[in-house]
Structure 1
Amino acid sequence: MTVYERSVTEQHLPDCASGIQDTQGLPDQRRLPINKVGIKDIRHPVRVKDRTQGEQHTLAHFNAYVDLPQHFKGTHMSRFVEILNEHEREISVMSFRSILEEMRARLEAEQAHLEMTFPYFIMKQAPVSGAESLMDYEVTLRGHMSPEDYEITVGVRVPVTSLCPCSKSISEYGAHNQRSHVDLQVRGRDFVWVEDLVELAEEQASCDLYGVLKRPDEKYVTEHAYENPKFVEDLVRDIARQLEDDDQIIWYTVGAENFESIHNHSAYAQIERDKREPLPDGG
């Protein structure tokens, strides 16, 4: 019996053991269901898979929600925290499904949503000197479960360099460039490595970023960006083309924001695609 099939006349009277009434479980007369109710921005330590080191420890911010039928006054907020604590530091892409199943069962819900955002660190070598430094990337995992469906989305924000093709074509000396953010979100047929998404975004940018650069490295990245000018439109299209060719990916969004160095505004572009549907031109 689902929560929707429970009688609207069922009263949560004082618990026999504690003598304390379950106020959240009382009936509500406004007849308005709630799509999402739960907790936001709770921090919890986690371990996540690392392609090179096996795993890394980090600190994640969680949002957790369920739906609430029209005939219940409230949900039990403490149960969200209890579920996270019971998993201790074993929370990962692989454990998302079991957490969502627990949320649906213990909160008597049809729909469950879980979001986890955390910094992910990758060691990078400067292109000429080989100097090593850590780069951090913001990663977000989003999971959704209903009786009919389960899906998980992996997202990463990748900072890169972009150089303006127009500026290069019209200027005698140099061209303006800026730091940009590429936001990638994908759903795959199987596990998706964060490192693969980071490398994809960096390879299609004018140049990628580094924590430490010596003088020969700075010369290299300046010239490399100059030889690879990209409009924000070029950046999202080039990344999307790579995702189109990857059979592992079934859905994606790619967005890019250029923090313009000669304007008081940003330039932005985005592509969203469900690869199970044909391209607009039938391709």
Structure 2
Amino acid sequence: MLADVQAAPDSRGIQLDEVGIEGLRYPVLIADGQGGKRETVATAAMSVVLSSGARGTHLSRFIEVLHGAREQLTSSTAIGLADELRQRTETSSACVRLVFPYFLEREAPVTRSRAFVEYTCAVTASSNSSGALLTLSVQVPVTSVCPCSKAISDRGAHNQRGHVTIEARPSDHALDLWFDELIDVAEDAASSPVYTLLKRPDERHVTMAGYDNPVFVEDMVRNVCQVLSVSDRISAYRVRAVNDESIHNHAAFAEVSWTSPNGA
């Protein structure tokens, strides 16, 4: 029988907060908001608490657990993945984070031409003896038109690409919350969404629509907050908007965090 070195006792009396793997790229099937599945490649980080009396953990079990859950990633299965990792490694706490490109097919506003837009999404699930926590994250590309530039200029206004990032913790009864919904909230908060495919009539529409809806980064964050704060399906969130300024040698950002007062 081969020696199980990781399971050997350790006499130094030091508990490790996190032991695991990171940077693992792995194919997974992600549930989407339309009842289907989307194939993508996730970058995984998985960790457990290592007790003071154990020398190491069995990293091969991390891969086995991930492979067993790769066919259908949802809020519920992400929590189950973290819980299974905790049980398989016989530890008090486990955490799994998967980051991946998530593609949604979008229509151009006038011609209805269709193409996929890429969003960076992540799901983080943790499990311990007290229960489980889940956080969903989306990073959404947007366009913003500067309200100040529009107000003080005789012609035009400067605009720029930016990103709105939302990290949201679903309420206990809202495990159906998923990326599509958060992406829509972020896009609605900006001057305009970003499209992969625009024909000339679409470009004209997007340019004028953005000009009619100028927003600062502060506005985008507050616009998101107005939607998320009144939802009983979200118990906590963090929102961050960043603009890569087109006429300044810096980026502009705004950020806020919120937790439901009733702890839902």
TM-score (norm 1): 0.87
In structure 2, give the amino acid aligned to 1:226.
Answer: Y
1:146 aligns with 2:131: no
Q: Deviations over 1:117-169 (max 9, x none)?
A: 11111111111111111111111000011101211111111100011111111
Q: Deviations over 1:73-104 (max 9, x none)?
A: 21111110121223342333221222222211
Q: 2:117 aligns with which of 107, 131, 135?
A: 135
In structure 2, give the amino acid aligned to 1:275.
Answer: S
Q: Cα gap change, 1:170/1:200 in structure 2, threshold over 3 Å: closer, same or farther?
A: same
Cα distance in 2 for residues equivalent to 1:124 and 1:90: 23
Percentage identity across aligned positions? 38
1:110 aligns with 2:92: yes
Cα distance in 2 for residues equivalent to 1:97 and 1:242: 25
In structure 2, give the amino acid aligned to 1:178.
Answer: Q
Structural mapping, 1:169-180, within 5 Å = 169-180=151-162
In structure 1, give the amino acid aligned to 2:56.
Answer: G
Q: Determine the structure 1 residue equivalent to 2:254.
A: 269
Cα distance in 1 for residues equivalent to 2:49 and 2:98: 18
Q: Determine the structure 2 residue equivalent to 1:210.
A: 195
1:28 Cα deviation after fit? 2.5
1:93 aligns with 2:75: yes
Q: Determine the structure 2 residue equivalent to 1:219.
A: 204
1:53 Cα deviation after fit? 5.6
In structure 2, give the amino acid aligned to 1:233.
Answer: E
Q: Cα gap change, 1:256/1:186 in structure 2, threshold over 3 Å: closer, same or farther?
A: same
1:159 aligns with 2:141: yes
Cα distance in 1 for residues equivalent to 2:74 and 2:90: 23
Cα distance in 1 for residues equivalent to 2:52 and 2:38: 42
Q: Cα gap change, 1:149/1:276 in structure 2, threshold over 3 Å: closer, same or farther?
A: farther
1:32 aligns with 2:14: yes
1:114 Cα deviation after fit? 0.4
Cα distance in 2 for residues equivalent to 1:114 and 1:261: 37
Q: Is the contact between residue 46 and residue 92 of structure 1 (CA under 8 Å) also seen in structure 2? A: no
Between structure 1 and structure 2, the one with the greater Rg is 1
Cα distance in 1 for residues equivalent to 2:7 and 2:16: 14
Q: Determine the structure 1 residue equivalent to 2:3.
A: 21
1:67 Cα deviation after fit? 0.5
Report the aligned-residue RMSD: 1.6
- The structure whose RCO (Cα within 8 Å, separation 6+) is larger is 2
Q: 1:248 aligns with which of 233, 242, 249?
A: 233
Give the gaps of 5 or more residues in structure 2: none
1:108 Cα deviation after fit? 1.3
Q: Deviations over 1:199-257 (max 9, x none)?
A: 11111101111111111111111111111111111110111111112121111111111
Give the gaps of 5 or more residues in structure 1: 1-17, 279-283
Cα distance in 1 for residues equivalent to 2:111 and 2:220: 27
In structure 1, give the amino acid aligned to 2:219.
Answer: D
Q: Determine the structure 2 residue equivalent to 1:59.
A: 41
TM-score (norm 2): 0.93
Partner SS for 1:112: strand
How many residue pairs get aligned? The number is 260
